Amino acid sequence: MRFRMWGTLMLLVVCVTLFAQGCKVVRTKTLDKMEDETAALTRATNRHLNQIRDLVGDNADLAKERDALLAELDEENDLVDTPKKILVSFDEMFRQLQDQGEGVTERFMNLGPGIEVTREPGIGIKVTVAGDVLFDSGKAEIKTEGQATLRKVVPMLKGSGEQIRISGHTDSDRISASSWEDNLQLSGERARAVLKYLATQGVPEKRMHFAGYGSHFLKRDASGKENKAKSRRAEILILSPLFEIDKLLPPAIPE
């Protein structure tokens, strides 16, 4: 009986020992599996964190690109708005220039015989001086009388601040006894003489330019001697500040 109990006890001890060892093995495998899963989760977390950092960096770059595009858009809007602003105020500017031109024309309307002041719409103010007042026949030297006449228009020219175009014109009579090749050369030298004299009176030479047209632009509102006398002239054109730059060039001479 005693041996049977002892054998039973030994069998129980063996079973308990085997069970404990089996639990230890299962626990070790479970821990290893948990550690592997933890390591995998850690790697996944780090990978996601890196992706987040990359996204944050990309977002910062996109924000910079957005700000740059917005700045460019603002500049383009300014370029678009500027002409609009100019166009909005154009009518008012033009009215002011018209009023100014009318005032100048009225002020210098009666400068004496041989001078005519007119407004050329969209171009400027034109001062026409009779050629017979300025020059003797076939000559390009300004007479004393002509110098006195030109001095009357100097205040207008000095006060305008605008570009000045001086053109010389003759009648259609052919030159017979003089040193000039033709009327075109004579008219150019006369226009040049007017420019040089006005410069001596204080009109800035850099604002003036001249051209000679000979008999290509005759006056046709009269006949005979009167028509020829009107054709012999010097025209001093004070160009409007709104005058197109391409129109600063002399008009083409008709063939």
As averages over each run of 10 residues, the pLDDT of the chain (255 residues) reads: 59 58 58 75 77 74 78 67 50 50 55 81 85 92 94 86 90 81 93 97 94 90 76 90 48 49
User: Three-class SS of residue 50?
Assistant: helix
* pLDDT score at 211: 94
CA-nearest of 201, 200, 220, 197 to 210 is 197
User: Three-class SS of residue 129?
Assistant: strand
* pLDDT score at 232: 93
User: Three-class SS of residue 154?
Assistant: helix
Query: Would you say 213 and 168 are in contact if contact means Cβ atoms under 8 Å apart?
Result: yes
Cα–Cα distances (Å) from 172 to 216, 219, 238, in that order, read: 8, 10, 26
* pLDDT score at 84: 52
Cα–Cα distances (Å) from 207 to 16, 115, 233, in that order, read: 121, 21, 21
Q: How far apart are the first and last CA of the chain?
A: 153
What's at 247, amino acid-wise?
A: K
Q: Which helix (H) or strand (E) holds 92?
A: helix 2-107
Distance CA 51, CA 57 (A): 10
User: Three-class SS of residue 117?
Assistant: strand
* pLDDT score at 94: 46
pTM: 0.56
CATH 3.30.1330.60 fits 113-248, yes or no: yes
3-state helix, strand, coil in the chain (%, to 5): 65, 10, 25
